Structure 1
């Protein structure tokens, strides 16, 4: 790939980067033949920025070349980029090149300067970048937002910021309200004070032709039926909004787009349109949803105060093992760092992160970071600090000490967790053996994340990576068997297009594969051997498996799909490895083998390492890459071998999946709600509205089931539709769950007694399962 340009408008480029540097420390720059896009993904502020600048407004003598349609995308740190541009402000000529120095990709600024004697010389300012693979870039999606009800031109952002900074001293949350009459209000309301600032006469622009407005258009018959006096309202974190206000250094016109949902506040985007560029910022709304927060389950949550419960066993035995494994992983990484030469040690330490990114060793891989000897020592010391913190937690957990607040680590939901913890303190349930199980378990993994997020060298480290890789490595037999099955289905493709009954039968089979893939949960299988895990995975071939399904709504799920044309199915993912493979198989079946009923599958992973084995976006990308590598070189990853035909079947299957990713038929969508502690009763409206567009939403695994039902002590005969509370009727829900926690609903007393007689641990052993469906009517 090649890039070279003259920076003609250094002043504007500097102002743009100056504004985004205050919002995010790192950003993506996406260059093509006509446009430069600067993208700030949600980080510590939660604000997303998607800006677009025409090349001719910044560059001249512009040349770009790559194998990806002359498009280059890289991640860059905004602080050194701003420093380079600042040093170039008074230069008569600045040439910018993409180069490779010391095995690292750099954006190299050649800056011409004049000496006091009048002679001219060039200085070079290099900014390291991380070139992104096309497949990873394709997964970056600008947020999908509903059509706004109100557009309003904001007052000068500098003035707005002054007002907000005063309000920030009173509350963490601000309400923005506006209507079509041009009335804008900023309000805070607490238990002791309420303050509202109003601007009248703001312009309500026509956004129909604005390419940087919302991403959909209202039908003509919906344009004028709204009350101009009605206010659309959203709740926003004050700090996130203040960070956005930093763009006043570049913006000339700023338009806020607000949506009024029938339930409550929904979403806001803010569009900035200076003369040379346009951008859309997506500000995070708060997660309070009034229609749901007033609903309370009629039974208490499970907690470890019941010493006969699985939650007690979890705190007593399972969590200490998980913490010990985490300590061991850090210790081994430190050992590798210190036992080799600096360059090779650094590469060894970074190998898990590279694998997590799904990186290949091709010529475009510029992300391997070689640490100096001093940096290695600093990283080792940080690792020792994490080990000490983890050891302290393990000690305190065994002695039922109080849960400590999540530190302000710049990651998602720290305040929400701490607010819930404050409520538990007031209730006297804030220790490890008294806190509600669902809260404490989610809190634990969010606490793990804070340990790494606060470091310099471990901030992107996945402490569970080795476990996920090792577990998947032992799954070769099951993977190859399913690859052969999918190949055989190709022979039935024409028949399936005409035979709905046969398609329904195969839908049930594929759903079974997807269900029992959930048997691999590393946070639970802490002591099983590879052979035992493989036996669980191969349960899909057991004809007697149906006797272990205590509730089976497969037919109702098919009814939700069979009448759909070109529909969308969402899958809220659970475990990586073999279970993710079965999810991909199921998604492939839906798109390719159901006669055009499904055209798109949206996968919802976690945005941080979670519950040991839950899928992250990096896990997803790595899985596709390692499967492709295994197909090309049998035995390179999976233990054991496969014949040439099976490897070819796997290769064809993965190639199809990658084509789905490239075309958008497979899509990833992350949301911080999935790594929160709240039951799904309290799903925020913007997320509920988005997944509600799907013909079917599949919730995989035990944790999703616990959150759907609130993890409370429902009687087993409670209807599933009742146990999901306010989600009843919101959208078609299918829960695929092998039982690994105490809560179970929707089954008969007779089936519960039978399971109890067969296995005293039937609620938690993973031997039994439920397939639960709730429709919209």
Structure 2
């Protein structure tokens, strides 16, 4: 099998791996002719299913395997990949290829940088530092130092991986969640994260029986609710704290009848919640720290739609902008289970 590609946007790829690695240290990566998929399924916490168009992060993309659609499945440690990409932020170019080192499979990240080097370009100034041979109005023309030139530096970093068989991953599938009761476009994730983190820290600081530093306290549970009239509510309550923040004027996106079985939108839970008025909410309770990690995807920008299955789950769809108009849209899907009361 073969896989080789240039990285089209190193900064975007680095931000993506930073966001994903905060939720899990190992990802299942599926590469094929059509897309690049990252999946994180931790023992506890949020699951991530990211489907990225090839054009969103790669170019000169080459893949070949004996599997249908030239599929290659990898188990990839995210922290070393992110560290390698961070070192490539200012690179002239970067590429990745699947290869072997000492008989073991690795993803080899090659970074090329160009720097201007000079041998003795400062000597003329230093030698004349104690004298002024030019006089007040005389200027001496000098040639550019012949030793000054662009120097290309090539650095290669190897990331150990596992190549997975098709049989070992065929049973992996996205969680099945019932039809949502509410769907709403979230406000700025950076703003939402700042408030969510503030609520979590306040709850930890005021929790009864918390030891110094708060390390022994259970992680606070945030309550997130949405209605079908453009409102989102974030709140938290403890024995000594009860605070909330409300956003209004948000958008509840219209559903496409073609994507609904029988096209019967009027009988969907979201339609019934909308008919119940602005005081009807769909609510989930989520781990404050885990939620803060999820919201780190805000560094990538993009539109985010939150779907609420009341007292059951929260699903986030993060849509990333693509370079090419008409290209397949990239979407990161987050599945977050709700805690019971």
Preserved contact between residue 5 and residue 97 of structure 1 (Cα < 8 Å)? yes
Preserved contact between residue 240 and residue 283 of structure 1 (Cα < 8 Å)? no
Q: Which residue of 2 aligns with 1:301?
A: none
Q: Which residue of 2 aligns with 1:109?
A: 109
Q: How many pairs were matched up?
A: 280
Residues 674-753 of structure 1 mapped to structure 2, 5 A cutoff: none
Q: TM-score, length-normalised on structure 1?
A: 0.35
Preserved contact between residue 147 and residue 218 of structure 1 (Cα < 8 Å)? no
Preserved contact between residue 312 and residue 337 of structure 2 (Cα < 8 Å)? no
The separation in 1 between residues aligned to 2:79 and 2:59, in whole angstroms, is: 24
Instruction: Tell me how far 1:209 sits from its aligned partner.
Output: 7.7
Q: Deviations over 1:378-421 (max 9, x none)?
A: xxxxxxxxxxxxxxxxxxxxxxxxxxxxxxxxxxxxxxxxxxxx
Q: Which residue of 2 aligns with 1:34?
A: 34
The separation in 2 between residues aligned to 1:241 and 1:258, in whole angstroms, is: 15
**Over aligned residues, Cα RMSD in angstroms?**
2.1
User: In 2 relative to 1, CA 31–164 (structure 1 residues): closer, same or farther, beyond 3 Å?
Assistant: same
The separation in 2 between residues aligned to 1:210 and 1:138, in whole angstroms, is: 28
Q: Deviations over 1:639-659 (max 9, x none)?
A: xxxxxxxxxxxxxxxxxxxxx
Residues 249-328 of structure 1 mapped to structure 2, 5 A cutoff: 249-260=299-310, 265-276=311-322, 277-288=330-341
The separation in 2 between residues aligned to 1:137 and 1:181, in whole angstroms, is: 41
Instruction: Tell me how far 1:166 sits from its aligned partner.
Output: 2.1
Higher relative contact order by CA 8 Å / sep ≥ 6: 1 or 2? 2
The separation in 1 between residues aligned to 2:180 and 2:304, in whole angstroms, is: 15
Preserved contact between residue 257 and residue 263 of structure 2 (Cα < 8 Å)? no
Higher helix content, 1 or 2: 1
Three-state SS of the structure 2 residue aligned to 1:203 is coil
User: Does the alignment pair 1:145 with 2:177?
Assistant: yes
Q: Which residue of 1 aligns with 2:225?
A: 177
Q: TM-score, length-normalised on structure 2?
A: 0.77
The separation in 2 between residues aligned to 1:107 and 1:210, in whole angstroms, is: 41
Instruction: Tell me how far 1:246 sits from its aligned partner.
Output: 0.8
Preserved contact between residue 108 and residue 124 of structure 1 (Cα < 8 Å)? yes
Q: Which residue of 2 aligns with 1:67?
A: 66
User: In 2 relative to 1, CA 217–27 (structure 1 residues): closer, same or farther, beyond 3 Å?
Assistant: farther
Higher strand content, 1 or 2: 2
Three-state SS of the structure 2 residue aligned to 1:273 is strand
Q: Which residue of 2 aligns with 1:203?
A: 251
The separation in 1 between residues aligned to 2:190 and 2:263, in whole angstroms, is: 32
Residues 590-629 of structure 1 mapped to structure 2, 5 A cutoff: none
Instruction: Tell me how far 1:268 sits from its aligned partner.
Output: 0.8
Q: Deviations over 1:473-520 (max 9, x none)?
A: xxxxxxxxxxxxxxxxxxxxxxxxxxxxxxxxxxxxxxxxxxxxxxxx
The separation in 1 between residues aligned to 2:277 and 2:13, in whole angstroms, is: 39
**Structure 2: gaps (5+ residues):** 118-149, 205-219, 323-329
Q: Which residue of 1 aligns with 2:147?
A: none
Instruction: Tell me how far 1:102 sits from its aligned partner.
Output: 1.3
Q: Which residue of 2 aligns with 1:100?
A: 100
Preserved contact between residue 146 and residue 216 of structure 1 (Cα < 8 Å)? no
Three-state SS of the structure 1 residue aligned to 2:203 is coil
The separation in 2 between residues aligned to 1:132 and 1:282, in whole angstroms, is: 24
Q: Which residue of 2 aligns with 1:670?
A: none
Preserved contact between residue 208 and residue 217 of structure 1 (Cα < 8 Å)? no
Q: Which residue of 2 aligns with 1:81?
A: 81
Instruction: Tell me how far 1:15 sits from its aligned partner.
Output: 1.7
Preserved contact between residue 190 and residue 298 of structure 2 (Cα < 8 Å)? yes
Q: Which residue of 1 aligns with 2:207?
A: none
Instruction: Tell me how far 1:207 sits from its aligned partner.
Output: 4.0
Instruction: Tell me how far 1:152 sits from its aligned partner.
Output: 1.0
